[in-house]
Structure 1
Amino acid sequence: MAVVVWIVEGTWRACVAAAREHVPENCRIVLLHVSAEEVPGAARGAYAGLLGRGHPERDPGPRVAGLASSAARELLAAAAGELGRPCTRSERAGRVEHEVVAAADGAELLILARDGDREHLGPRSLGPASRFVVDHAPCPVLLVWPGPAPGLGTIPPPPPHGPDGPPEPQGHPERPEHP
């Protein structure tokens, strides 16, 4: 059994704890970190916009990508240390949600943490990338809270007309005929 654990700053400890608790010892665990591709590109674009394209040696894009890669390696090392058992570390760069889904292809489980609203139960507890991953994962997903889950009292009230929306109109009002 292969399990992918998505390691994200701010929520990774909950994912590692879930792997320790729910993944049997004989399973292969892959700790995955994805660096967003747009960050080095934004640095490159900002530099080019402000100072022009005449000095490619000063382009901050490669340096920013290197810093992101270094930070990812440090985070993966911390996660591996906290996991406390053999694992594989996988570092990717690209469109985050697509890279996570691709990494989960062939896995038997994907573990990720809620990264949105932590004060209320409901769909807003997932950020856009996590929502995409949950909706498109090619394997079962274990979705964990990065801290204590909010109470049931945080569930939004039902719509005023019930879960199916307002009642259907019973016909149309009379329309005046046009001459």
Structure 2
Amino acid sequence: MRVIAWLVEGTWPACVDAVGAHAPEDAEVVLLHVSDAGAAGLAHGAFAGLLGRGHPLGHLPAEGWQRDPGDRLEALGGSSAAALLDAAARRLGRPCARAERTGRPEREVVAACEGAGLLVLARDGDRSRLGPHSLGPAVRFAVDHAPCPVLLVWPEPAPPLGTIPPPPPHRP
């Protein structure tokens, strides 16, 4: 069985711990990190749009202004992902593969699950109470579209049962 653990900054330790607790010892574990290409793309676009209105690149006021910040964001994202995957592999303490993808995170995660036996991911929304708002849009998409069973974990202890939202007013 192949187990995919979607690792995100801030919640990855809970996913790694869940894999350690619930994945069979002989499972092929894949630690997955997805970098959203949107942030670097926005920086590229902003840089090109702002600089395209005033002066050509050769006549900018300061040397640093000649560098596209999108390039720096891409480099930082790659090194951050590698460091996160290294830390996760150490925490897991068993053989695993590491996968880095770039694109829309929710779609990349679902695509990575093709042929997998389990997807492990963490809640990323409002974690102060139980209920549907504890899932952000990307995690909700992955939960709804994963082609395999899903293990959804709380990154910290779950809130008490008293935090369940009341039923809708139209239901008794």
Q: CA deviation at 1:151?
A: 0.9
Separation in 2, partners of 1:96, 1:12:
15
Q: CA deviation at 1:60?
A: 2.4
Matched, 1:87 2:80: no
Q: CA deviation at 1:45?
A: 1.1
Matched, 1:32 2:41: no
| 1:127-138 correspondence runs (5 A) | 127-138=136-147
Q: 1:116 aligns with which of 112, 115, 125?
A: 125
Q: Which runs of 5+ in 1 are unaligned?
A: 164-179
What root-mean-square deviation, in Å, do the aligned CA atoms of Structure 1 and Structure 2 show?
Answer: 1.6
| 1:23-102 correspondence runs (5 A) | 23-52=23-52, 54-55=56-57, 58-102=67-111
Q: CA deviation at 1:162?
A: 1.0
Higher RCO (CA 8 Å, separation ≥ 6 residues) = 2
TM-score normalised to the size of structure 2? 0.90
Q: Which has the larger radius of gyration?
A: 1
Residues 75-134 of structure 1, C-alpha deviations (whole Å, 9 max, x = no match): 000000000000000000001100000001110000000010111111100000000000
TM-score normalised to the size of structure 1? 0.87
Separation in 2, partners of 1:153, 1:116:
18
The SS at the match of 2:115 is coil
Q: CA deviation at 1:49?
A: 2.0
Residues 49-86 of structure 1, C-alpha deviations (whole Å, 9 max, x = no match): 2222854x722222211110110000000000000000
The SS at the match of 1:67 is helix
Q: Which runs of 5+ in 2 are unaligned?
A: 58-65
Residues 17-71 of structure 1, C-alpha deviations (whole Å, 9 max, x = no match): 000000111110000000001011011011112222854x722222211110110
* Aligned residues with identical type, % of pairs: 67
> Which one has a larger percent helix, Structure 1 or Structure 2?
2
Q: 2:161 aligns with which of 127, 152, 156?
A: 152
Q: Partner letter of residue 118 of structure 1?
A: R
The number of residue pairs the alignment matches comes to 163
Separation in 1, partners of 2:75, 2:103:
14
Matched, 1:105 2:114: yes
